A and B are shown apart, each in its own frame.
Chain A
């Protein structure tokens, strides 16, 4: 089982890593620093809601958030495995990491559908 499913996890890791590398720094900077510190004006609530409800925006947000979670799951799993030498807990770690990312994905889907 392990040998057949690894490329699948790797592809999610790779896609998430690329999306995160391209989009997360600027998103974090704008929403987490520039707007809260008053360097940029916060866009009006109605405008943000309208933009986020666009089907393309929903798809983009879903992929960015979900794949970022799977990117973490795969990378963190191997960090624990190699870095902390937790080789005997391999299965437990995999279940917690990919399971956590799946829970996050369901939450993202639910939130974006009900937006």
Chain B
């Protein structure tokens, strides 16, 4: 709101609390919420890197080798290390919220939240182990 409110003869201004831009830095729980929302940048950022790798794959062996060289640069390693922390944070917060989005019932009993979240975590670990094993086997 302006420091010098103007007189409005016809239309009263309704009250609206003004929020500072960085309101979410004041409390850890709010900052954590914004951090969770920002994981989406790293999710999409990695999807883009992955797409560029597939593009290099389609362009031929030389282009692909050049792309792999790029991935070995210290800048790329650092960015991937930071991104890994954020995408893992995305997974953890996502699975913990899954019971809220998906209320499963067996008979007339609701499946407990911990079971739904637990199954998500098990699927995550299983998929990760399977993909790592498949890569190891070449």
Residues in A lying within 8 Å of B, measured CB to CB = 14, 16-18, 20-37, 40-45, 47-49, 52, 61, 64-65, 68-69, 71-73, 75-76, 78-79, 83-85, 101, 104, 107-108, 111-112, 114-115
A36 in contact with B77 (CB, 8 Å): yes
**Nearest chain-A residue to B124 (Cβ)?**
A22
Q: Is there a chain A Cβ closer than 8 Å to B3's Cβ?
A: no
Residues in B lying within 8 Å of A, measured CB to CB = 19, 21, 23-24, 34, 37-38, 40-41, 43-44, 46-51, 53-55, 57-58, 61, 64-65, 68, 71-72, 76-77, 80-81, 83-84, 87-88, 90-91, 94-95, 98, 101, 120, 123-124, 127-128, 131-132, 135-136, 138
Known: A61-B54, A75-B40. Is A35-B124 also a contact (CB below 8 A)? Answer: no
Chain A CB within 10 Å, residue with most, of B23, B40, B87, B101:
B40
Q: Which residues of B contact A83 (CB under 8 A)?
A: 24, 34, 37
Known: A24-B87, A28-B87, A33-B80. Is A107-B51 also a contact (CB below 8 A)? Answer: yes
**Nearest chain-B residue to A24 (Cβ)?**
B87
Known: A69-B47, A75-B37. Is A111-B55 also a contact (CB below 8 A)? Answer: yes
- Give CA–CA (A115, B51) in the complex, Å: 11
Q: Which residues of A contact B21 (CB under 8 A)?
A: 84-85
**Nearest chain-B residue to A26 (Cβ)?**
B128
**Nearest chain-A residue to B58 (Cβ)?**
A115
Known: A36-B68, A40-B135, A83-B37. Is A20-B55 also a contact (CB below 8 A)? Answer: no
A71 in contact with B101 (CB, 8 Å): no
Partner of A36 from B76, B95, B123 at Cβ < 8 Å: B76
B84 in contact with A33 (CB, 8 Å): yes
In the assembled complex, how far is the CB of residue B54 from the closest CB belonging to chain A, in whole angstroms? Answer: 6
Partner of B95 from A16, A21, A47, A107 at Cβ < 8 Å: A21
In the assembled complex, how far is the CB of residue B45 from the closest CB belonging to chain A, in whole angstroms? Answer: 8
In the assembled complex, how far is the CB of residue A13 from the closest CB belonging to chain B, in whole angstroms? Answer: 9
B136 in contact with A28 (CB, 8 Å): no
